[in-house]
Amino acid sequence: MIQLFKDLFLSRYFFILLIVIVLLFVVAYIFPILFFIPQLLLVAFVLVFITDIMVLFNVKKGIEAKRQVADKLSIGDENNIVLSVKNFYRFPVKVEVIDEVPIQFQIRDTQFEADIDTLEEKNIAYTLRPVKRGTYTFKWINIYVSGFLRLAKRRFRFEANREIPVYPSIIQMHQYELMAFVNPNAELGLKKIRKIGQSSEFEQIKEYTLGNDIRTINWKATARKNQLMVNQYEDEKSQHIYNLIDKGRLMRSPFNEMTLLDYAINASLVLSNIIIKKQDKAGLLSFNHQPDSFLKPDNRIKQLKSILEILYKEKTNFLESDFSKVYAFVRKNIKRRSLLILYTNFNSMSGLKRQLPYLRIINRFHLLVVVFFKNTGIETISQQKANTLEDIYINTIAEKFAYEKRQIVKELNKNGIQTILTAPDDLTLNTINKYLELKSRGLI
């Protein structure tokens, strides 16, 4: 009985009819001859209401619901959530579904309505976009069932306190992997890079076919076989590529509700997956005021899982990044010439000048690519039409900051350092294209 009162709710139709009956009693008070009408309606109303309750609560398992969600959600992506609701009543029901989503989303309107026939199962789908890594807790799925009389509702509750971790974007990882290996020229913008030169790694001798490079003809084999034979070479593999992630205070800057660090982490995961699929070896180094997480390069399947777990736990702080310690760590721990993709941010030329000596020395022993971010807000302001003197001042200051970013690119290029200046939204795409370009040019 106590449980019945906990799960019993009144519909709006109940209150509408109750108000009508009360008004009829008021009218009957003025005209006593009509008093029997509201009395009859009240008795009928009570009987119907009791019948509705009995019908709803007579079945122990009237509704079944479950939440279909991935074991890991992807940060920055729209993750699909599906609620499956099945009706075990012997009559069609109307349901209101309220899913108690994790508190991090601050959403209070995940409410859906559906009409479900007898023994029918209906799926209700919606999406959630987490913007922070960590553990998210889904609470109750609340189902409010109305019978055919629509006066009372019965509440069912399912799947309380289900914890789901939010990881770096696994969705993007699979998406870009598909584009990189199936259709490089598709809408995402991955570029097909012309292979410059060839690897010196010999694979086999084969018969010449139309289109083979005549420079690869093996004249000794041709003389023995009495037909044209060519040497076939394969792409060099197992190159070492490291993602270096700056976790200093500048990487706390927000963009579209996420930090620049999270964009760098997503890009590192996606690129590491493609590196391993290309049979190169992916490694990882994160740092702030000192080197932190370090993972030696490998191309085995378990390497990607290790990278994912490390990236999941990475956090930034308010300290200034120390590139001198990064240089010392790289010289000590990375002996083989490697491609180092450094995700950082420079807001001014003076900030670059402090770190440039260490970047130049690192680039002397490795191939260094510095990835940093455009300030899209400032660029938007600089392109706006100026209507007042104040607008001119604002546009001039914004253009000065945008110009300084371009000067940083020129300064790095002048010192022989590869650069990517990108908007956060385009980071993953531009980084992949840079890796493919360097690989096609034989620079790694």
pLDDT tens-digit profile of 191-212?
A: 655 554 445 555 578 888 776 7
**pTM for the whole structure:** 0.81
Percent of residues, the chain, with pLDDT higher than 90: 54
pLDDT at 428 over 80: yes
Band (pLDDT 50/70/90 cuts) for residue 186 is: very low
pLDDT above 80: residue 213: no
Helical H segments across 105-258, by residue range: 170-181, 219-225
Coil, helix or strand at residue 308: helix
Reported confidence tier of residue 429, pLDDT bands at 50, 70, 90:
very high
Are 41 and 69 contacting, i.e. CB atoms less than 8 angstroms apart?
Answer: no
pLDDT level of residue 87 (50, 70, 90 thresholds): very high
Q: How far apart are CA 419 and CA 410, in angstroms?
A: 9
What tens digit of pLDDT does each residue of 430-441 get? Answer: 999 999 888 888
What pLDDT shows up at residue 144?
Answer: 94
pLDDT digits (tens, 9 = 90+) for 129-138: 999 999 999 9
> In angstroms, how far is the first alpha carbon of the chain from the final one?
74
Pairwise CA distance, residues 106 & 257, whole Å = 13
Predicted local distance difference test score (pLDDT) of residue 75: 96
Task: Tell me the pLDDT band of 30, cut-offs 50, 70 and 90.
Answer: confident
What pLDDT, on a 0 to 100 scale, did the predictor assign at position 240? 94
pLDDT band at 353 (very low <50, low <70, confident <90, very high): very high
User: What is 365-384 written as a DSSP string?
Assistant: HSEEEEEEE--HHHHHHHTS
CB 38 within 8 A of CB 25: yes
Buried b (16+ CB within 10 A) or exposed e, 288-323: beebeeebebbbeeebbebbbebbbebebeeeebbb
Distance between CA atoms of 322 and 287, rounded to whole angstroms?
A: 8
What is the percent of the chain with per-residue pLDDT over 70, rounded to a whole number? 91
What are the boundaries of each domain within the chain?
A: 1-167, 170-194+236-440, 203-232
pLDDT value at 375 more than 90: no
Q: What is the pLDDT of residues 294-307, one digit of tens each?
A: 999 999 889 999 99
Q: Do the first three CATH levels of 1-167 and 170-194+236-440 match, i.e. the same topology?
A: no
> Position 115: which residue type?
D
Burial class (CB in 10 A: 0-12, 13-18, 19+), 103: exposed
156 vs 146: CA distance, rounded Å: 11
The residue among 272, 83, 99, 66 whose CA lies nearest residue 169 is 272
The CA R_g of the chain, rounded to the nearest whole Å, is 33
Tokens coding 196 = 């410059």
Indicate whether 147 pLDDT > 90.
Answer: no
Q: Report the amino acid identity of residue 254.
A: P
Fold for the domain defined by 170-194+236-440: Rossmann fold (3.40.50)
What average pLDDT does range 150-173 have in this prediction? 92
- The per-residue pLDDT for range 222-245, each reduced to its tens digit, is 888 888 888 876 555 678 999 999
pLDDT at position 386: 74
pLDDT over 60 (residue 263):
yes
Residue among 402, 397, 106, 432 nearest 257 (CA)? 106
**pLDDT value for 185:** 46
The pairs formed by 382-385 with CB atoms below 8 angstroms and a separation of 24 or more are none
Place of tokens 């490291």: 242
Task: Calculate mean pLDDT across residues 377-384.
Answer: 72
The CATH architecture to which 1-167 belongs is: Sandwich (2.60)
Is 322's pLDDT higher than 80?
yes
Q: Which helix (H) or strand (E) holds 24?
A: helix 12-30
Confidence check: pLDDT of 35 > 60:
yes
Q: Output the six-digit token pair for 121.
A: 């199962």
Q: In what order do the strands lie in the sheet with 121-128?
A: 63-68, 79-87, 121-128
Q: Number of helices (H) and strands (E), helices first, in the chain?
A: 12, 21
Q: What is the mean pLDDT of the chain?
A: 87
Helix H or strand E segment including 82: strand 79-87
Contact 433, 191 (CB under 8 A): yes
Give 387 or 313, the one with higher predicted confidence: 313
